[in-house]
Amino acid sequence: MPHRLLSLEHFRQRLAHADALPQLVILGVLSGVAAGGLISLFRAADTLLQAWLLSEGAERFEALPDLYRLLLPIGGSLLLIALFACIPAQARAVGIVHLLERLANHQGRLPVLNLIIQGLAALIALASGHSVGREGPAVHLGAGAGSLIGQRLNLPNNSMRLLVGCGAAAGIAATFNTPLAGVIFAMEVILLEYTMIGFLPVMVAALVGDVVSRALLGKAIVFTAPDLAIGELTQLPLVALLGLLCGLLAAGFHTLQIQTFRLRHWHFPVRFLLAGVLTGMVAVYWPEVMGSGYDTIESLFHESAPVLFLVGLLLAKCILTPIVIGLGIPAGLIGPTLVIGALAGALLGALDTLITGTAHTGLYAMLGMGAMMAALLNAPLAALLAMLELTRNTDIILPGMLALVVASLTTRYVFRLPSIFHASLIQQGLDVRQAPLAQILSRAAVGSLMRRDLCQTSADISLAAARTLLETAPYRILVESDRRHFLLPPADLRHYLDSLPEDAGDSLSINLLSIPAHRVDTDYLLYRATLKEALDRMQEQELESLIVVSNREDPIGLISRQQIEEYYHQKQSLA
């Protein structure tokens, strides 16, 4: 075997272990490069497409005539209908919800076609002014880049999960140049766990993804935020009130989207066209609802807006966005979520200005942006870091923490709502939350525990062949006969041979199915499987052990239920 193939095989074997940190860091670098390049391509295409459609620049839908604002989302919906009509139904699943489902049920193996459709569909939705964001597509594209690397290298499934997290972090970092927020988002929303072995590869991926996007496209200037801070601690009650308001808005957004999600049994042409018509009608009166709305957020940072305008736009965005996303428009919700939070903060700041005469609208807009994201995603730390990195204002950390805590408590414990992504999965009859046992067993592959002292034979063998098998001192003997396979303890075979007459010839035929022995049924499992997959298979088929096979279906080892249980108890004792 060539030296390169031997090195790759050793690399895979090391990744089967839960502590393969150097190998995981290498994968983090590869994921960051791939995700950074793919996101840069997506960002460039989005910028060019909007520059072609919008003469005043990206996100400047307000400059379009009323008729264009009405027809543009409808035209975008028609294009999406044409795109989706040309592809199979399974390729239409995109976004973070699709990513979480593949991570839970398909070991993080993301299909290439879904990835391509995600990029094209998101570009159409964003350019046509639908009330959606580019963050969800960025996470899907980044995670897909990491997943494709793992699939191409035939890596164990335990490392596939982390590769998806690395790609997601790099996707966020490459989109906004916010590497730290990307890391926490990947751990808090995608992987749903914090582990030291996972932090470093994800951190490396986010760093590399950010560097690649800066090298290819330059710095992503999302917001130019002023340096604002609370003047007095007496403002903190108003900050807490802002958190409560964002929590209430998030609960309403959550409920409306899930209720609309129940219309998914409608054919996608009807749903997409309805989304386009609704967006166009609202955009005639409130053009700021179109697109991600980053220009609206920045204007709220710097200028006060009339209260009636803020109320109207807030209601329009809060009602339109969850309906559009619930109807299946294939793009993200984080961008519109930031707009809603900024509008809520600016509204509360404007009311405070009317009462006290002191302008705080920009500060409250920043705080509301993070509070709304935290409440809807149930990801307070990711929201805090996103708010910090997007505004580059460390003075908002203290009031920001207060607003985020109140907002998160409101949705999580008052309304008992999960993350909007997990709620969408539950609506589909899925739940990706893992018990502690599943989390621990998902971090290692069967190759990290399997016993390799296994020999294979057919059921009918000669006496000489049986003695030769025993000379290798195997742990178990794998016996195959007529598509049936079972394990035979070597001690039982040795006991039978000892019971034979001394004059038995070496050519004597022995049938391992008929000799007295404790035979145990078994089944095959691919070496890429995690310990959790192995345990699930054993429980499903009522087996005590499984044969681990390579890609060529050659037996390479044995994994038993006892080994997995001992591994779990060992990890628990160290925790």
Q: Which residue has the higher pLDDT, 571 or 261?
A: 261
In a domain, 369, yes or no: yes
- Point out the domain boundary residue: 222, 241, 269: 222
Task: Give the C-alpha separation, 466 to 146, whole Å.
Answer: 48
Q: What is the Cα gyration radius of the chain?
A: 29
| Residues paired with 336 in a beta bridge | none
Task: Give the C-alpha separation, 485 to 94, whole Å.
Answer: 41
Model pLDDT for residues 16-55, shown as the tens digit of each residue:
776 778 888 999 999 999 999 999 999 999 989 988 888 7
In a domain, 464, yes or no: yes
Task: Assign residue 468 the CATH number of its domain.
Answer: 3.10.580.10
Inform me whether the pLDDT recorded for 6 exceeds 70: no
90 and 119 co-located in one domain: yes
In a domain, 435, yes or no: no
515 and 413 co-located in one domain: no
Task: Give the C-alpha separation, 517 to 519, whole Å.
Answer: 6
Q: pLDDT at position 82, please?
A: 96
237 and 218 co-located in one domain: no
Task: Give the C-alpha separation, 152 to 34, whole Å.
Answer: 13
Task: Give the C-alpha separation, 230 to 401, whole Å.
Answer: 13
Q: Which residue has the higher pLDDT, 174 or 2?
A: 174
Look up residue 332 and give its DSSP letter.
Answer: B
Q: Who's near 79: CB < 8 A, 6+ residues apart?
A: 124, 128
* H-run or E-run covering 560: strand 555-560
181 and 291 co-located in one domain: no
Domain count of the fold of the chain: 3
Structural domain for 48, as ranges? 3-222
End-to-end Cα distance, the chain = 41
Residue 268: name the closest of 424, 422, 82 by CA.
Answer: 82
Task: Give the C-alpha separation, 118 to 141, whole Å.
Answer: 8
18 and 151 co-located in one domain: yes
- Point out the domain boundary residue: 222, 257, 286: 222
In a domain, 97, yes or no: yes
Maximum pairwise Cα distance, the chain: 110
In a domain, 434, yes or no: no
In a domain, 91, yes or no: yes
Inform me whether the pLDDT recorded for 420 exceeds 60: yes
Model pLDDT for residues 96-112, shown as the tens digit of each residue:
999 998 988 888 899 99
Q: Which residue has the higher pLDDT, 116 or 13?
A: 116
Model pLDDT for residues 367-416, shown as the tens digit of each residue:
999 999 999 999 999 999 999 988 888 888 999 999 999 999 999 999 99
Query: Hey, is 9 helix, strand or coil?
Result: helix
Which of 234-243, 349-358, 370-379, 413-422 has the lowest average pLDDT? 349-358
Q: Are 276 and 74 in contact (CB under 8 A)?
A: yes
288 and 164 co-located in one domain: no
Inform me whether the pLDDT recorded for 353 exceeds 50: yes
In a domain, 25, yes or no: yes
396 and 326 co-located in one domain: yes
197 and 260 co-located in one domain: no
pLDDT-derived band of residue 78, with 50, 70 and 90 as boundaries?
very high
Inform me whether the pLDDT recorded for 360 exceeds 60: yes
287 and 189 co-located in one domain: no
In a domain, 433, yes or no: no
Residues 201-230 have a mean pLDDT of 87
Residues 552-559 have a mean pLDDT of 83
Inform me whether the pLDDT recorded for 4 exceeds 80: no
Residues 76-90 have a mean pLDDT of 95
Which of 153-167, 316-330, 501-515 has the lowest average pLDDT? 501-515
Residues 162-169 have a mean pLDDT of 94
344 and 212 co-located in one domain: no
Inform me whether the pLDDT recorded for 189 exceeds 50: yes
Inform me whether the pLDDT recorded for 121 exceeds 50: yes
Model pLDDT for residues 442-498, shown as the tens digit of each residue:
888 888 888 888 888 888 888 888 888 888 888 888 888 776 788 888 888 888 888
Task: Give the C-alpha separation, 487 to 479, whole Å.
Answer: 6
Please count the other Cβ atoms lying within 10 Å of the Cβ belonging to residue 572.
11
Task: Give the C-alpha separation, 201 to 32, whole Å.
Answer: 10
pLDDT-derived band of residue 1, with 50, 70 and 90 as boundaries?
very low
Task: Give the C-alpha separation, 490 to 209, whole Å.
Answer: 53
Instruction: Give the rounded percent of residues in the chain with a pLDDT score beyond 70.
Output: 95
Half-sphere exposure of 177 (CA within 13 A, CB side): 16
What mean pLDDT value characterizes the chain?
88
Model pLDDT for residues 296-324, shown as the tens digit of each residue:
898 898 888 888 999 999 999 999 999 99
Task: Assign residue 327 the CATH number of its domain.
Answer: 1.10.3080.10
| Orientation of helix 236-261 relative to helix 361-377, angle to 10° | 40
Residues 134-144 have a mean pLDDT of 94
- Point out the domain boundary residue: 386, 404, 427: 427
Task: Give the C-alpha separation, 538 to 533, whole Å.
Answer: 9
Q: Who's near 237: CB < 8 A, 6+ residues apart?
A: none
* H-run or E-run covering 456: strand 454-458
Tokens of 180: 């730290």
170 and 264 co-located in one domain: no
Which of 33-47, 281-295, 428-442 has the lowest average pLDDT? 428-442
pLDDT-derived band of residue 2, with 50, 70 and 90 as boundaries?
low
198 and 288 co-located in one domain: no
Residues 332-352 have a mean pLDDT of 91
Beta-strand relationship, 545-549 and 555-560: antiparallel
